[in-house]
Amino acid sequence: MALLDRALVHLLPAVPRPIVRRIADRYIAGEEIEDAVETVSRLNADGMTATIDVLGEEIHNADEAQEIVDAYHDSLDAISEHSLDANISVKPTAVGLKLGYDVGKANIEALVQHASESGNFVRIDMEDSTTTDDTLRIYRELRDARLDNVGVVLQARLRRTLDDIAVLADLRPNVRICKGIYLEPESIAFTDFEEIRASYVRSLEALADTASYVGIATHDEFLISEGKRVSRGRFEFQMLLGVRESLGRDLVTDGERLRIYVPFGRQWYEYSLRRLQENPRIAGYVATDTVGRLLSRNGG
Ligand SMILES: Cc1cc2nc3c(=O)[nH]c(=O)nc-3n(C[C@H](O)[C@H](O)[C@H](O)COP(=O)(O)OP(=O)(O)OC[C@H]3O[C@@H](n4cnc5c(N)ncnc54)[C@H](O)[C@@H]3O)c2cc1C
């Protein structure tokens, strides 16, 4: 399977878009805000909360960044209008961080202010390690400006994460902890599966002491059971749309809070490709999933 994973990762850019779309379909609500509203309504009816992500990390100019920002403002309005139980997750580079620190920060700040008007919340996603310092700086500056309806993400994969937890402690931050999707060099990141898991558990335990709230983002059963042990009902679990849905339903049945990450937007292709390429394990899941669908279609 490892060979197939690697082959798939390299072949993906050559795969026709409609096929990538089909593979990635279950991970994305659709292209329009209405699709996200429909998906979130369904999740809410099933006892889950959501966080909406506007797809579009590959922006090249201020106009493109503004388009994404506008879609987030529309998402906040739609959440209020439809009384959805959902917040938003924002990638700093999608709203202009690479165009300039001040551009990214101003756009996130405007969204946090908008969200606060309706008692809502903004999660700042964490991207690759070239953005970690700036992202944490934006978070601290917003909190220093008394904007408290904002949270950040830390990645267990990064060796620096325990230090970051200590540095953020004075803010009593609201943190999503995840493994980290971006493959980083060994000099700054754990690369071994078990080491990443161990770092996740250490980070979670540290956050339980210092954070105001924790989003435990994982589909890893070992980490979910560690999450239950550490959280004791205080925190929430988070999963990606379309991933391990039965595990998610089990969490809800057990009385745990579960938030589903719901991406939507026209830039689904870049998101899908990036996800599939940057985490070779996911290519394996996709292959299994596709074979599984074909077998079940054939009655197998
Ligand atoms: C809500 C949420 C928000 C996130 N936000 C960020 C972020 O801001 N920054 C960041 O770097 N990363 C983010 N991630 C991604 C995260 O860092 C991991 O890359 C991803 O969750 C896979 O790690 P895992 O803990 O699920 O463990 P894994 O070991 O990768 O997966 C555990 C099991 O889950 C299943 N699984 C996992 N992914 C898939 C999939 N795509 N399709 C089918 N099955 C799958 C497999 O059965 C696997 O064995 C987020 C993840 C979630 C759930």
- How much is the pLDDT for 267? 85
How does pLDDT run across 85-105, given as a tens digit for each residue? 999 999 999 999 999 999 999
How close is the Cα of 239 to the center of ligand 1, in Å?
A: 7
Q: How many CA atoms lie within 13 A of 86 on its CB side?
A: 31
How close is the Cα of 146 to the center of ligand 1, in Å?
A: 31
- Is 125 known to be catalytic? yes
Of these residues, 125, 143, 164, 257, which one is catalytic? 125
How does pLDDT run across 54-72, given as a tens digit for each residue? 998 668 899 999 999 999 9
Confidence of residue 50 (pLDDT cuts 50, 70, 90): very high
- Is 77 known to be catalytic? no
- Ligand 1 atom at shortest distance from the alpha carbon of 239: 53
Of these residues, 176, 197, 257, 259, which one is catalytic? 176
- Ligand 1 atom at shortest distance from the alpha carbon of 220: 32
Q: Name the percent of the chain lying above pLDDT 70.
A: 88
For residue 1, is pLDDT > 50?
A: no
